[in-house]
Chain A
């Protein structure tokens, strides 16, 4: 079996940037795009709307469009892309073993860029009404909520961004947050505050999604200040309460922090296993930006290239 120089796992900004750099360094990278395990191919940007903070795109562009460009650029330098989820790895000895689909691959080095994905509330009714009011993708589904009343759950930037986007379609958007203040950035808070269609519901936790079996009609809520229960009427609910890293496949092989993010050595993308590198959100719960993911993806490719050269 052929031994790959470098296998890249993940197809967000980090994975594709690592691929572009590795390919241009003549490492002939093999990249696993993934299917479902990490959310979706292309990563979290596939579910976002306008990206306005990525330098070089003064007019902004849509997340999915941006990921198409990343992919095209990686393909231009002949990255081989496999549309499979990596389901198992074996980092016990070199070459490393990677299992995807029915096949096993061998690699001298591995770059993990599997990212993170949005968390769900995990409450009754949430799964049942997915596609029937409960949505994971404001960009995809906002269109269907024209003149409807919707809830956005969360208090960070992604909640505010989704609320702003959804207000283009909806009659009313209520941001339901379990605290009394927002975590989001100033500019997003101001934008949401000025938007006449957006209102805030504070100190409120969503306990259950209600409906008639075919579509959602509202949620059961609990006010953690007054300890009162109540119901909110809504046609749709978008959840934006944070993220969890896609590291279940690597558990036990490399060191993770208590939240499951990959630990890398200071000023480097090296993981606890020599020859395995990590870039992007999977190793970063702090910045979590497309541009920082691209940056650390680039670092991982350069680190892998140097490490491989040292081995020879």
Chain B
């Protein structure tokens, strides 16, 4: 699967009502560590089965960031059945992120 581009319009349907777990990457173009993580997240989206992976540009969709009380980016939230099941911030390696996601499959 390729990475989902999440917006204020499609967030509910694509994330909260999804039938699989979803990883959401909250990012912005001015954030250095986000730029480090973006290609990693995109690669995992292409490689992993059983989980949807998407990103929210907080600059364009501040309402979503606000709703989930994002105070730092990059922040990653794993949703399952419309609920937040894990949230973490900062950069990490591809293997570390993959391991975290495997725990939710």
Interface size bracket, B side: 20 to 34
In the assembled complex, the Cα of A215 lies from the Cα of B73 at a distance in Å of 15
> Per a CB cutoff under 8 Å, which of A68, A143, A214 touches B28?
A143
Chain A contacts for B89, CB-based, 8 A = 130-131
Closest Cβ of chain A to B1, distance in Å, is: 23
Determine which of B30, B70, B88, B91 lies in contact with A139 in the assembled complex, contact meaning CB atoms within 8 Å: B30
Which listed segment binds B: A15-23, A41-49, A252-260? A41-49
Nearest chain A residue, comparing its CB with the CB of B73: A140
Q: Does the CB pair A64–B92 fall under 8 Å?
A: no
The answer to the question of B48 belonging to the interface, with a C-beta cut-off of 8 Å to chain A, is: no
Query: Is B36's CB under 8 angstroms from A143's CB?
Result: no
B72 x A42 contact (CB < 8 A) = no
Nearest to A64 among chain B residues (CB) is: B32
Minimum CB–CB distance for B30 against chain A, Å: 6
Complex contact B69–A40 (CB within 8 A): no
Q: Within 8 Å CB of B36, what residues of A? A: 40-42, 46
Q: Does B71 contact A (CB under 8 A)?
A: yes
Interface of B is mostly: loop
Query: Does A236 contact B71, Cβ atoms closer than 8 Å?
Result: yes
Query: Does the CB pair A140–B71 fall under 8 Å?
Result: no
A67–B91 touching, CB < 8 Å: no
Whether A62 touches B30, Cβ cut-off 8 Å, given contacts A35-B93, A40-B36, is: yes
Q: With A46-B36, A131-B90 as given contacts, are A215 and B71 in contact (CB-CB < 8 Å)?
A: yes
0/1 interface trace, chain A 22-51, chain B, CB 8 Å (1 if under): 000000000000011000111001110000
**Are the C-beta atoms of B92 and A214 separated by less than 8 Å?**
no
Cβ A63 vs Cβ B32 within 8 A: yes
The answer to whether B93 touches A143 (Cβ under 8 A) is no
Rounded to whole angstroms, the CA-CA distance of A62 and B32 in the bound complex is: 9
**Structural contact, A141 and B32, CB atoms closer than 8 A:** no
B71 to A137, Cβ gap below 8 A? no
Q: Does B85 contact A (CB under 8 A)?
A: no
By a CB distance below 8 angstroms, the chain A residues around B94 are 83
Asked if A140 meets B34 with Cβ closer than 8 Å, knowing A131-B71, A135-B72, the reply is yes
| A36 and B31 contact, CB distance less than 8 A | no
- Docked CA distance A35–B58 (Å): 24
Give the CA-CA distance A144 to B62 in the complex, in Å: 9
Mark A residues whose CB is within 8 Å of B: 35-36, 40-42, 45-47, 62-64, 67-68, 83-85, 130-133, 135-137, 139-141, 143-145, 214-215, 236
8 closest pairs, A vs B, by CB?
A46-B32, A131-B89, A64-B32, A140-B31, A131-B72, A35-B93, A144-B71, A141-B72
Q: Which residues of B contact A (CB under 8 A)?
A: 28, 30-36, 58-59, 65, 69-75, 87-94, 96
